Amino acid sequence: MPGLTELYQDLHRHPELSMAETRTAAIVSDTLRAQGWDVTEHVGSTGVVGVLQNGPGPVVLLRADMDGLPVQEDTGLDYASTDTGIDPDGREVPLMHACGHDVHVTCLLGATAIFAADRSTWCGTLVAVFQPGEETAQGAQAMIDDGFLDRFPRPDVCLGQHVGPMPAGTVVTRPGTIMAAADSFRIRLFGRGGHGSSPENTVDPIVMGAAVVGRLQTIVAREVAAGDSAVVTVGSFNSGHKENIIPSEAELKINVRTFDEAVRDNVLHAIHRIVDGEATVSGAPKEPEYTALNNFPLTVNDAAATETVVDALTGAFGPDRVQAMLRPLAGSEDFGVFGDAAGCPSVFWHFGGTDPKLFGDNDTKEIGARSALPAAVPTNHSPFFAPIIDPTLQTGIQALLAAAAAWNSPNM
Ligand code: ZN
Ligand code: ZN
């Protein structure tokens, strides 16, 4: 498609931080309008929604996320980003499309162009969602909170995709949970500060925090069943400044990954129980304080709709290029927010963006099973993440067209 490579390279050169995707949103809106779509801007801050109606038929929602990351690009591409931005803490940060959301925007704009150009191939209503703030788990909920379901046709199915470190040209998905839930929060533990020489006159928050960190390890070991899994990581533990001062508080930052709603509830409940309990037995003068940092829901593929999508993708690409993921990824997404809010099935899939040569002798048929990637293959969020343009863009566009056609083909 003429202009698509240039569009992609332009987006790649100019990434924007989550919830600040103003330039990207303007390009998306202008492009959609020129293609003939009804366009609404500023949905949930910088979100853009395009609607294209073509007679009676199902409403199919297609979603792309738009945000970049505070990463210094090191790909060496001639269209690499050198832009910087100001993060929410007021710091200047480098910007990079290190998660490939520029690929997602380009692919969806490629698909919208084809839908608008030839209406004889489909019927019903298409809703193209260009979502802000995926990396911070804010954008999908912000669009829902901005009246998305009342302002636009209610979807019968939600479809979304993500580019990743698989061989370009391949597509993978699975029914059921495909991405983990992620819950992050900050906990403040309160003690009573004093002189390091007289601990009897204090409540030491460092000892309290150390007990919390140790005891949290028992959640996965002793409270999660053998067949289930979870990750509880304390990624930050800060307290005190000087060796002879017992500080008055400690701060922990915790990240939790789970793959099942019941396990998630149990793990989060256990964390609260342990933290509150350790504060009590330490004689803390005040209850611990919890602040949510972000919450990504589980990404769950509806089983029947996934089968429909896999059949459609297999028809488009052939069986060798469509593979089943054996396990969900521990990464997280907020795509599921749309389907959950609308009460309709969702299907999410991953498509490859990596030059197949970089896999060497690795058996590319075992994508879902591979535990570690070859060192030469950069992952999402790496400064070296550089999807190859061909056939990545074509694959992403074709996947959207094929999956949507499973619902809105006039021959269905
Ligand atoms: Zn991403
Ligand atoms: Zn990401």
> How many C-beta neighbours within 10 Å does residue 159 have?
25
What is 2-180+298-408's CATH number? 3.40.630.10
Domain boundaries, the chain: 2-180+298-408, 181-295
Distance CA 144, CA 152 (A): 11
| List 21, 134, 156, 334, catalytic entry | 134
Ligand nearest to the CA of 103: 1
> What does the DSSP assignment read for 303-317?
HHHHHHHHHHHHHHH
Q: Which fold has domain 181-295?
A: Alpha-Beta Plaits (3.30.70)
Q: What is the pLDDT of residue 375?
A: 85
Give 174 Cα–ligand 1 centroid separation in angstroms.
18
Give 102 Cα–ligand 1 centroid separation in angstroms.
10
Distance CA 294, CA 316 (A): 37
Q: Is the full-model pTM beyond 0.75?
A: yes
Whether 134 sits among the annotated catalytic residues: the reply is yes
Q: Would you tell me the crossing angle of helices 303-317 and 389-408 to the nearest 10 degrees?
A: 130
Nearest Cα neighbor of 349 from 408, 409, 403 is 403
Q: Would you tell me the crossing angle of helices 389-408 and 101-117 to the nearest 10 degrees?
A: 50
Q: What is the pLDDT of residue 365?
A: 45
Give 139 Cα–ligand 2 centroid separation in angstroms.
13
Q: What is the pLDDT of residue 367?
A: 52
- The answer to whether residues 155 and 344 touch, using CB atoms and an 8 Å cutoff, is yes
| List 21, 67, 73, 260, catalytic entry | 67
Q: What is the pLDDT of residue 369?
A: 47
Give 17 Cα–ligand 1 centroid separation in angstroms.
12
Whether 311 sits among the annotated catalytic residues: the reply is no
Q: What is the pLDDT of residue 330?
A: 87
Low-confidence ranges of the chain (pLDDT < 50): 364-365, 368-369
Q: What is the pLDDT of residue 360?
A: 79
> What does the DSSP assignment read for 360-402?
TTS-GGGGGG-SS--TTSPPTTSTT----HHHHHHHHHHHHHH
Q: Which residues pair with 157 in a beta bridge?
A: 60
Q: What is the pLDDT of residue 362?
A: 61
